[in-house]
Structure 1
Amino acid sequence: MPIIWIGFAVFVALLLFLDLFVLNAKDHVPRTREALGQTGLWMTIGIGFCGFIYLAYSNGWVESDLPAHTAMINYLTGYLVELSLSMDNVFVIAVIFGYFQVPAKYQHRVLFWGILGAVFFRLAMILAGVYLLEQFDWMFYVFGLLLLFSAYKMVGKGEEVHPSENPVIKLVKRIVPVTHDYHGHDFWVRHAGKLHATPLFVALVMVETTDVIFAIDSIPAILGITTDSFLVFSSNILAVLGLRALYFVLSSMIDKFGLLKYSLALILTFVGIKLMLHEVWHPEEWVSLVVIFVTLTGGVILSLLQPTPAEPHPHDPTKIKEPTEVPDI
């Protein structure tokens, strides 16, 4: 494995250590100010990584023919795409936590381990996607159609989350017994000499499978920007690492971003069309960056200008306290 991949893995491990054992060493509900500060920190790291990308590609640390400035623009565009699509993921996670009545102070722990698993799943999916695009030209059309279909679903009625009907959840229940109540922040407990999963573990599995489903949209979207595996992986992972803090910023304001899904659908449509026209349309790298930035910014601004609903969203995670009733899973 090239040294730059090993170095990036160590860098991500250090960031995860910082997040779990320094910034969130104790189970607590991050206040809005704290969540905003951490979101700013993760975004600074993600955007600041552009400087490293420029150095890496200008000094030949990565085996690539891309000019350094092109690599930097592609990374930033991919980062912005993943960050924007993560916003939609935040809303689904809020519904999951609301269904399982996960105490607010344990939600960060679920997100941390869920995203840790996402790192490995996404690496496998990215490498597979790059391989398919390099070996089979028709895969550009498959990914393009996939993104167009995802855009259509996003502006439709939307997909409801039904944890009790999730086949993965049913499989977990068949393999291991599940307790009916929470045991602090533990995912596993021993009861009557037998190992039991807690509802917190079931919520983790649900978040993990949801992330894989979202990655089916987000990874082809970034592959529509570049097929350089290091750029795709680094932009994807650094955007996902900030999802935990972003979740606590956005989850209590879900109803304020009602128009954002249309911006995300337009982004998916743009990238999908770009993939399908890859043989005849080759816009400059900065064009994709500008289109995605303007579309996302416009969606956020228009959403904030909309009147706020009188009643708060029923799945505001900051309102879930202990003790709590756990639904039948």
Structure 2
Amino acid sequence: MQLNRQQTSFGRHETFPLRFAWLPKSLLALRDDAALFDDPESAMRRLGVGRNMVNAIHYWLRVCGLVHFEDATARITPLGEALLGPDADPYLEDDATLWIIHWLIATNAERATGFFWFFNRFAAPRFTESEILGALTDFATAELRLNRAATTLKSDISTLLRLYAAVPGRTDEHLDALLAPLGLIEADPEGGYRSPRAPRPFLPLVALEFALAQRFAAEPDQPALSVRGLLYAEGDWAALGAVFRLSEDGLMRHLDALLAAYPGRYELRDTAGLHQLFWLERDQRPEPLAVLRHYYTGES
């Protein structure tokens, strides 16, 4: 959720975007065999994929924070259970789950640095693949002080676009573009791509609530977040307005809906010209997992 220039990574996905069946199928398999990924041959047979795809699945499980790997065993995390567990959305059928998975990927600055950079730092509403590659190269060189191979950065850009953008005529579209239904990146009919900010009225409220809970939990002593900081990435923090590609009007509409749904939990205030969102329940820390459990199971 916050960029650490000493802990970054690019191109660890083996050029494979996250695919629809990978997360549900992997969690189901890991419940039977926690050492599944310690034996590549066994993982290949159980998951029905090649060796490189096994590595890619291992990567995406870690990026999304669904599985913790230690030595020869894997443990499904509380987040994995709350999001894709048997009592939640085990078959990835709920659109809200896709939005939350997107948030988890785009805020993981350590393991998916290129994705974090795109959604939090790259603001051009229209661009070509070469333009975004040049901008990512500049970021890695000038800000991170890294000299990454052009092929590595290019693989990040290619994988990002294949994951998020549906391109007419591409034969592997049904496999790759898992997050295309979110409409965050689209092929531009005039060439290249577009990723504009918009009101996004169909953004599920639970995705916004989960993102805010994670953001408040990351700074437990901070009672308020600036609305500008929520809209635009300030400093090294991820910004939910940027990650969800929300316009200012769209962000405010969603925040108003959140305040109406949870009176007494949040409050918008103007103090000395600073517009801020306050967490009012100071005796109770924000619990992102509680947000998911309440949504998927009705647990209070």
Q: What TM-score do the two structures reach when normalised by structure 1?
A: 0.27
TM-score when normalising by structure 2: 0.29
Would you tell me which structure has more strand in proportion to its own residues? 2
